[in-house]
Amino acid sequence: MNVLLWHVHGAWTTAFVQGKHRYLVPATEDRGPYGRGRARTYTWPDTVVEMTPDELATSDVDVVLLQRPEELALAGAWLRRRVGRHVPAIFVEHNTPRGDVPETRHPFADRDDLLIVHVTHFNALFWNTGFTRTAVIEHGIPEPGARYSGELDRLAVVTNEPLHRWRVTGTDLLIRFVDVAPIDVYGIGVAGLAAPNVETVEDPPQWRVHEEIARRRAYLHLCRWTSLGLSLLEAMTIGVPVIGLATTEAVTAVPPDAGVLSTDVRALVDAAHWFIAEPEAARRIGARGRQVALARYGLDRFLADWDRLLEETTCASR
């Protein structure tokens, strides 16, 4: 089927577009947030097709995949159809609620014209969606090409906008780890973090991130309030031992024998010391984490879940 979706979250979309459908991605002249087109730093198949707003107006679209509330009106204007009535709509909720948690009301609460799909059970539990239909489809991770070596006595972090998001991404906690080992930070908007014992790499391609973190001894996941960082799951799939805050969905994604999670930062610092001092322990924990991630967040399961939901949604619309 033809699926219209915006390029919003590169890593999630990279997994989603590995399916058997045709994926229509809006592309505008300015390549702004509502018309980025195909990814530049991720590998997408040829089934991902760029479409201008004018082209979408005459295109056959079977279902619209929304990821930001404002896309509902935008899709209606570009398709010249009433989205949710004339063409079925699914809203993918990537984020944890903000504001008066756990009372935060979802922007699409109490609607009968779309389905909300949460990417974690934590999100489904904490968002107030009223009587809107909901489902959960957990993440799927394409098999990374890199494999863990842990040859460098360094720690890896993958994050976006760490200066702007600060406490949300746990940026303030990095200072607690710089005396354990040098830290390498990869992502968008990371350049301003450069400091003694902290190196940054701005917006690298996904394959390079995988290769680089595979060489670091351990992966730090210090987000206080995030849905479930895909970079955490990617690190686990590569076999990198993970150290992270025991918050949101991470507590179910990382069993006790597959990484070190705690709300006590001192315990996480101790774990970093342990992995740096004992490479074999790091390798053992990382191998178990890879096993867990492949079993729960495999790409085949993810795509099969989405195929079922897309078929059910389009059939119900017909």
Contact, 136 vs 125, CB < 8 A? no
What pLDDT digit, counting tens, does each position of 41-64 carry? 888 999 999 999 999 999 999 999
Residue type, position 306, single letter = W
Specify the pLDDT at position 99. Answer: 84
**Cα–Cα distances in Å, from 266 out to 131, 159, 180, 286, 305?**
42, 21, 12, 21, 39
Structure tokens at 118: 């949460």
203-206 LR contacts (CB < 8 Å, sep 24+): 203/41, 204/41, 205/41, 205/42, 206/10, 206/11, 206/14, 206/41, 206/42, 206/43
Q: What is the mean pLDDT of residues 228-232?
A: 93
Q: Where are the alpha helices (DSSP H) in 53-107?
A: 53-56, 71-79
Could you give the percent of the chain with pLDDT greater than 90? Answer: 90
**Helices 230-238 + 206-215 axis angle, to 10:** 60
DSSP-assigned beta bridge partners for residue 48: 23
Q: What is the mean pLDDT of residues 276-284?
A: 97
DSSP letters along 199-216, please?
EEEES--HHHHHHHHHHE
Identify the sign of the CA torsion 291, 297, 303, 304: positive
Enter the pTM of the model.
0.93
Specify the pLDDT at position 318. Answer: 62
Instruction: Using the predicted structure, report yes or no on whether residue 317 has a pLDDT greater than 80.
Output: no
Structure tokens at 160: 């976006």
Q: What is the 3-state secondary structure (H, E, C) of 127-180?
A: CECCCCEEEECCCCECCCCCCCCCCEEEEEEECCCHHHHCCCCCHHHHHHCCCC
| CATH 3.40.50.2000 residue spans of the chain | 2-140+299-317, 152-296
- CATH superfamily, region 152-296: Glycogen Phosphorylase B; (3.40.50.2000)
Residue type, position 221, single letter = H
- Mean pLDDT rounded to a whole number for the chain: 95
Could you give the percent of the chain with pLDDT greater than 70? Answer: 99
CATH number assigned to the domain covering 2-140+299-317:
3.40.50.2000
> Which secondary structure element, helix H or strand E, spans residue 232, and what is its range?
helix 230-238
Instruction: Using the predicted structure, report yes or no on whether residue 226 has a pLDDT greater than 80.
Output: yes
Q: What is the mean pLDDT of residues 264-284?
A: 98
84 three-state secondary structure: coil
Specify the pLDDT at position 41. Answer: 85
Structure tokens at 250: 């991470």
What pLDDT digit, counting tens, does each position of 83-138 carry? 999 999 999 999 999 988 888 999 999 999 999 999 999 999 999 999 999 999 99
Burial of 309 (0-12, 13-18, 19+ CB in 10 A): middle
Q: What is the mean pLDDT of residues 59-75?
A: 97
> Which secondary structure element, helix H or strand E, spans residue 295, and what is its range?
helix 279-296
Specify the pLDDT at position 315. Answer: 84
Specify the pLDDT at position 316. Answer: 74
DSSP letters along 33-53, please?
TT-B-S-SSS---TTEEEE-H
Least-confidence region, from 188-197, 220-229, 250-259, 292-301: 188-197
